[in-house]
Amino acid sequence: METSVLKVDPTNPESDVIGRAAAVIRSGGLVAFPTETVYGLGAKGLSAEAVAGIFNAKGRPSTNPLILHVSDASEVLNVAADWPATAQTLAARFWPGPLTLVVPKRDSVPHIVTAGGPTVAVRCPNHAVARALIRAAGVPLAAPSANRSTELSPTHAGHVLKGLNGRIAMVLDGGRCSGGLESTVVDVTGEIPRMLRPGLITVPMLEAVCGRVEVGAKSEGVARAPGQMAKHYSPRTPLALCATPTDALTSAARARAQGQNAWIMAPDSKEFDQLDEGADILSALPERYGAELYDVLHMIDGAEHDIVFVVLPPDTPEWAAVRDRLTRAAARE
């Protein structure tokens, strides 16, 4: 299959471009589109057959449920059997935006979307292209990140093509994603909301509007996020996590002395002031670091490094999403 790439204005999407993409979706095809987090791979969310195409194109295990994307909070009742008060509160505060809510599903949602489970994940993205596409398609879009399963998430159209060229009908190229990390996933089916995947919306931000939030998946059930499989979001190059800049500098020097092509990736700090090569120094601000992360990892994968020493940012709520993705990127299985 030939993948068509259509440029689209990220703030004022052209209606003819959106119309062409929506026609592909309505006919059961796959369209990758930008959101404020990462590129999504969209299909008609209430069609089991169209959604099967997503699993096939990504090589995604069928045990891993998908997010349904709506263009407005009023559409959730088409897919959610119940909309708990916490969901209402969180959506009112954070939608449209990088927050996914897990709620009881309606019968109209095919089992393939929810991996057979009784709940469905929904999100209203804060991106004009995503919302225009959902509106024009006239149905919620099932959309995982637009990458092959276990590989790095895409933050621009070039990343999507690296993994999916020839496997999907269309890519809407709306430039770079501003957020750069996948949405925060919160299960609101229980008494206390539970964050299943950290993202740009942090625990303190959630707790400020809905009180105490628990963190991490319960040990049983299908609702385990793939974020809980150790290896995920992974580059091919081996990454070694380091607690401090000094550790990374020492380890890289040792590896180089043994003839290895070693590289460093770290948030900016004074230890790296003198360093002008052999490293990718990212922002010391969590949101900016998050926006750069996948692009840097994609570039690292394009280079010929034997190993990359990655300095973990501090263990604080603002850095939780970045630490989570780095830890999974470093996992080998």
Binding residues vs Mg ion (CB under 5 A): 145
Choose, by CB under 6 A, the member of 196, 242, 279, 322 that binds ligand TXA: 196
Q: List strands edge to edge, sheet with 214-215.
A: 4-7, 170-173, 31-33, 40-44, 141-142, 67-69, 119-123, 99-104, 184-187, 194-197, 214-215
Of Mg ion, ligand TXA, none, which one sits near residue 64, judging by CB under 5 to 8 A according to partner kind? ligand TXA
Q: How far apart are the first and last CA of the chain?
A: 31
Q: Vertex 232, ends 56 and 99: CA angle to 5°?
A: 90
194 versus 305: smaller Cβ distance to ligand TXA: 194
| Contacting residue, 22, 136, 139, 185, with ligand TXA by CB under 6 A | 185
Stretch that binds ligand TXA, among 95-103, 155-163, 258-266, 280-288 (CB under 6 A): 95-103
Q: Does 324 bind ligand TXA (CB under 6 A)?
A: no
Q: Which C-beta is closer to ligand TXA: that of 76 or that of 196?
A: 196
Number of residues that bind ligand TXA (CB under 6 A): 30
Candidates 61-69, 89-97, 234-242, 294-302 — which segment interacts with ligand TXA by CB under 6 A? 61-69
Q: How far apart are CA 305 and CA 307, in angstroms?
A: 5
- Residues 85/90/93/97 CA torsion (nearest 10 deg): -140
Three-state DSSP class for residue 58? helix
Among 144, 174, 193, 245, binds ligand TXA (CB under 6 A): 144
Question: C-beta of 39: minimal distance to ligand TXA in Å?
Answer: 7
Identify the CA nearest to 70 among candidates 10, 154, 31, 126.
126
Q: What CA–CA distance (Å, rounded) separates 249 from 58?
A: 37
Helices 85-94, 203-210: crossing angle, 10 deg rounding: 120
CA–CA distance from 57 to each of 42, 45, 229 (Å)? 11, 15, 20
Scanning residues 288 to 317, which ones bind ligand TXA (CB under 6 A)? none
- Listed ranges 21-29, 71-79, 225-233, 263-271: which one lies at the site for ligand TXA (CB under 6 A): 225-233
Q: 227 is in the binding site of which of ligand TXA, Mg ion, none (Cβ under 5 to 8 A by kind)?
A: ligand TXA
Q: 255, 258, 260: which is closest to 242 by C-alpha?
A: 255
| Binding residue (CB under 6 A) for ligand TXA from 43, 67, 141, 308 | 67
Of 28, 84, 117, 278, the residue at the interface with ligand TXA (CB under 6 A) is 117
How far is residue 328 from each of residues 28, 230, 232, 237, 310, measured CA to CA in Å? 32, 6, 5, 13, 12
Q: Is position 223 an interface residue for ligand TXA (rule: CB under 6 A)?
A: yes
Pairing outcome for strands 239-242 and 194-197: unpaired
Identify which of residues 129 and 249 has a Cβ nearer to ligand TXA in the complex. Answer: 129
Q: What residues line the site for ligand TXA (CB under 6 A)?
A: 35, 37-38, 40, 64-67, 98, 100, 102, 114, 117, 119-121, 123, 125, 143-145, 182-183, 185, 196-197, 223, 225-227
